[in-house]
Amino acid sequence: MRRQIGRPQDCVPVASAKSIAYKVSWVGMYQASSSSLQQHMPAVAEIAERALAGERLQASEAQALIESSGEELSLVMEAAGALRDRAKGRRVTYSRKLFLPITNLCRDRCTYCTFRKDPHDPGAWTMAPEEIADWSARGRALGCKEALMCLGDRPERAFAEYRKTLAGLGAASTAEYVAIACRIALDHGLLPHTNAGVLSGSEMAMLRPLNASMGLMLENVSPRLRLRGGPHRWAPDKEPAARLGMIDAAGALRIPFTTGILLGIGETPAERAQSLVAIRELHERHGHIQEVIIQNFRAKPDIPMAGAPEPDAYDMARAIATARLVLGGSMNVQAPPNLSPGEIELFLRSGLNDFGGISPLTPDYVNPEAPWPHIERLAERCTRAGFELAERLAVYPEYINNQWLDPALAPEVKRLQAELGGGKT
């Protein structure tokens, strides 16, 4: 029987600035509350306790966590927060970024997407090199350090006119044009992070010396979402096997990698749990997953999924907490603050330690209705909740070494690290 999904009980202690003083006893508090709760809910309490002790959870156990509600959810969130505190302390991070939508043409048609365009659609846009240079200069002037190259998937396979555009730009493929864009961004002092959809191993190898890190949302491992009526019916690049294969290949190439799951596209709680476990298995193989994003579907009027329900705040909280408990204390767990602006404190309580890229200049082209938070306001909210907000680069500190970064990027990374200083906002 499916568990009733609900908000957590108010019994979870809400962190405040004062509560930092007792953060050292946070785990003790968890253990005390866990023993009383265990009398009523042994399964979830025991699973959370074992995860907190560093044990590796099975997919069925992750499912129990991600379906928790009421007191159980309080317990899961508390354990996730304790695990985060123990491994990362109370420092949460973000990357000051410039969002460059290199092309919004895409061969796929996900039913929740407003980003993609066909070549003759109003708003179809492939950025010219001069535009990339202009935006890069403006972003750098505003302190941006990351250039997010975010674009549609393999449009050259679908549109002859776009292939001509690429040829005019001196590129035989979208990946080659992204390489040109990365060089422009690097010339302007920005560290590229490319998310160009599914790339081949040779394309990633070409882009590796030009990118501090790369990314691809796994979204979900369920092949069911590609069936008739599913959100990925007309999106061949959303085939889970292709996405798992690319993430695996990125690990073999030693590319620091960002991935994550998308909530609210028709997946079940079990499929959410299985997706988190699949990400953990890829990370166990290569050690390359630098962060895992928990992203919520946002309904928009002009998409086929306009009437689909959005995940609520507690769906997000239970997914963030489950991600923390499945992936462990050392993983960076992120949720985009612009997609849940009222839930910053709830997410911090659930074990999150990163807010991803935030731009002082460019909109979130994928969710243009959702403005980025003002960084100073976000920092104030973090402080009130008992956390410190700090800026990071597009590559996390644990990956800044010869094993993971191409030597060609080292001077630029070093310079930007120095610019970060203490990493304060």
Q: Which residues bind ligand SF4 (CB under 6 A)?
A: 106, 108-110, 113, 115-116, 152-153, 197, 235, 237
* Smallest gap from residue 289 Cβ to ligand SF4 (A): 20
* Residue 261, both tokens: 């799951």
* Smallest gap from residue 154 Cβ to ligand SF4 (A): 9
Q: Which amino acid does the sequence have at 158?
A: A
Q: Which amino acid does the sequence have at 65?
A: L
Give the nearer residue to ligand SF4 in terms of CB position, either 57 or 198. 198
* Smallest gap from residue 193 Cβ to ligand SF4 (A): 16
Q: Is the dihedral of CA 123, 124, 129, 133 positive or negative?
A: positive
Q: Which amino acid does the sequence have at 119?
A: P
Helix 26-38 / helix 70-88 crossing angle, nearest 10 deg: 150
Please tell me the distance from the alpha carbon of residue 188 to that of residue 181, in angstroms, as a whole number: 11
Contacts of 52-60 with C-beta under 8 Å, sequence gap 24+, read: 52/27, 52/79, 52/82, 52/83, 52/325, 54/328, 56/280, 57/277, 57/325, 57/326, 58/277, 59/270, 59/273, 59/274, 59/277, 60/273
* Smallest gap from residue 237 Cβ to ligand SF4 (A): 6
Helix 70-88 / helix 313-327 crossing angle, nearest 10 deg: 50
Give the nearer residue to ligand SF4 in terms of CB position, either 297 or 347. 297
3 state DSSP class of 216: coil
Give the nearer residue to ligand SF4 in terms of CB position, either 142 or 306. 306
* Smallest gap from residue 157 Cβ to ligand SF4 (A): 12
Please tell me the distance from the alpha carbon of residue 91 to that of residue 354, in angstroms, as a whole number: 9
Alpha-carbon torsion, ordered 389, 21, 349, 327, to 10 deg: 80
Mark 261-280 as b/e (b = at least 16 C-beta within 10 Å). bbbbbbbebbbbbbbbbbbb
* Residue 11, both tokens: 């019994």
* Smallest gap from residue 55 Cβ to ligand SF4 (A): 35
Give the nearer residue to ligand SF4 in terms of CB position, either 156 or 391. 156
* Smallest gap from residue 231 Cβ to ligand SF4 (A): 9
Give the nearer residue to ligand SF4 in terms of CB position, either 263 or 348. 263
To which H or E segment does residue 295 belong? strand 289-296
The neighbouring-strand residues paired with 18 are none
Give the nearer residue to ligand SF4 in terms of CB position, either 150 or 379. 150
Helices (H), 39-126: 42-52, 59-66, 70-88
Please tell me the distance from the alpha carbon of residue 190 to that of residue 144, in angstroms, as a whole number: 7
* Smallest gap from residue 215 Cβ to ligand SF4 (A): 12
Residues in the chain: 425
Please tell me the distance from the alpha carbon of residue 355 to that of residue 353, in angstroms, as a whole number: 7
The neighbouring-strand residues paired with 109 are 234
Give the nearer residue to ligand SF4 in terms of CB position, either 97 or 117. 117
Give the nearer residue to ligand SF4 in terms of CB position, either 237 or 391. 237
- What are the DSSP E strand ranges found in 177-286? 191-195, 213-215, 257-263
Give the nearer residue to ligand SF4 in terms of CB position, either 163 or 226. 226
* Smallest gap from residue 112 Cβ to ligand SF4 (A): 7
* Smallest gap from residue 223 Cβ to ligand SF4 (A): 16
